[in-house]
Amino acid sequence: MQLASQCRLLSLTILLLALSMPYSYAVLNYENEIKTAVFLSPKFVLGPGSVVNKYFFNVEFPRGHIAIKSFNGEVVDEAGNPVPLYETYLHHWAVGRYHQHKNARYGEYDGHQMLHQSDRIVRNSGLCQGDVNGQYFGIGSETRRTDTHIPDPYGIEVGNPEEIPSGFEEKWLLNVHAIDTRGVEDKLGCTECWRDLYNVTKDENGQLLRPEYKGGLKCCYDGTQCRKREGYEGPRRGLYLRYTVKWMDWDKTVVPVKIYIIDVTDKWKKSSGSSGESSKHDCQIEYDVEPCSAAGMDGHGSGCIDVKRTSALLPSGGYVIYGVAHQHSGSVGSTLYGEDGRVICTSVPIYGEGTEAGNEAGYVVGMSTCYPQPGSVKINDGEVLTLEANYSSTKIHYRSYVTLLPLGSRRITTTF
């Protein structure tokens, strides 16, 4: 995130159920059939002010033809103790699916390069370009208090042998982006990746940063260092992402949902008078939130809010089963609107008020979720939606992030 203007991430995730699916299944309850497993990511090591943004391939995950019911994660130390955000800030984690040839053998490799060059990544149903926002699950600091469960009788179908190419097997990858803020000069500045605190001139690919780029993901990549207070020394320590997966074996009574992620930075536009898409999706992931002074506001009262909107067309509609937004500090909330202006889902941040992990004062520790009554919230085929992200402009932020993600066969789950 950036300094001068604020940089924010905002996306919405929705799970969709196809319009053709019946509702009679809704009486089913799978409580006794759901399995739970807790896994640890490979270890990553952080010292005061340091950053990791790692891609771990072939991580532990339930195997077989299954229906995923929920996925939650948190950072823990080597003793298994939850680590608070004011020590290690979890910028984001994301989980993706890919198909790998059974005879493939990889030694040391650049995780970033493999992720972007592979033609076997199995992404969600949209809407961003390429592999951008293609994850199945993923949030950030709000991970401990954001509900991710998918209500019965719905589930995310994975491991279907009919969808795995001959000679390949299904595997899972995990991306963890964490920032150690122990002993740093400015915790907020480090978590928002202010350029002057990281003292970088190039991005992770060696490209020079534009002079006007004041902060964001291009400043806090893997191996960078945020400025510490003079004289501060602290130990390096091993950490893990501990993640909990709930699932059940697939059977014909489970109703599949599709995942869609809508990114508020998407530059997609629909041509006037056209019934189809007029441009390609171009999700930027982050954007600047203008401070009050730039907008001519004094910062007092409720009027100092930066509002960003984007439009998105869903080729195939459905019924919304679930929706949630991903936002960072300074967020006020996000709303997804239908083409007629109706509210489909509103997701607002939960800010911590204490010191314990999951309730850290001043941090976004959760996002509210939408669980509409099945069949009550419908998105039509080809409907153009509007995603709106709201951030407070009373503080300096560099980059904002918002994403919307729906899931389902013919039912929609949304996350934004």
pLDDT attached to residue 19: 56
Most confident range (mean pLDDT) of 32-36, 54-58, 86-90 is 86-90
CA distance 349 to 55: 27
pLDDT in tens, 301-337: 456 888 999 999 988 889 999 999 998 888 899 999 9
- What digits encode the pLDDT tens for the residues 57-110? 999 999 999 999 999 999 999 999 999 999 999 999 999 999 988 887 654 444
Q: Is the pLDDT of residue 276 over 90?
A: no
Give, in order, the Cα–Cα distances in Å from 159 to each of 100, 135, 243, 367. 13, 16, 19, 29
pLDDT at 395: 56
d(CA 63, CA 66): 7
Give the CB-side neighbour count of residue 357, counting CA atoms within 13 A.
16
pLDDT surpassing 50 at residue 24 = no
Q: How far apart are CA 338 and CA 325, in angstroms?
A: 16
pLDDT digits (tens, 9 = 90+) for 246-267: 999 999 999 999 999 999 888 8
Express as a percent the part of the chain with pLDDT over 70: 80
Q: What is the pLDDT of residue 64?
A: 96
Mean per-residue pLDDT for 384-391? Answer: 92
pLDDT at residue number 88: 98
Residues 6+ apart with CB under 8 A from 288: 2, 4, 5, 6, 7, 8, 214, 397, 398, 399, 400
Residue 145 predicted with pLDDT over 70: yes
Ranges of each domain in the chain = 6-415
Nearest C-alpha neighbor of 392 from the set 298, 284, 282, 304: 304
User: Do residues 338 and 404 lie in contact, with contact meaning Cβ atoms separated by under 8 Å?
Assistant: no
Give me the mean pLDDT over the 297-304 stretch: 53
Would you say residue 365 has pLDDT above 60? yes
Residue 106 has a pLDDT of 58
Over residues 153-178, the pLDDT tens digits come to 999 999 999 999 999 999 999 999 99
Closest CA to 221 of 202, 198, 204, 199: 204
pLDDT reported for residue 202: 96
- 27-38 mean pLDDT: 79
**pLDDT per residue as tens digits for the range 168-220:** 999 999 999 999 999 999 999 999 999 999 999 999 999 999 999 999 999 99
- At 405, the pLDDT band (50, 70, 90 cuts) reads very low
Average pLDDT over residues 135-144: 94
The mean pLDDT of the chain is 84
pLDDT the model gives residue 18 = 56
**Mean pLDDT across the stretch 31-48?**
94
* pLDDT given for residue 186 in this prediction: 97
Least confident piece of the model among 84-93, 291-300, 334-343: 291-300
Whether the Cβ atoms of residue 295 and residue 403 lie closer than 8 Å to each other: no
For position 27, what pLDDT does the model report?
Answer: 47
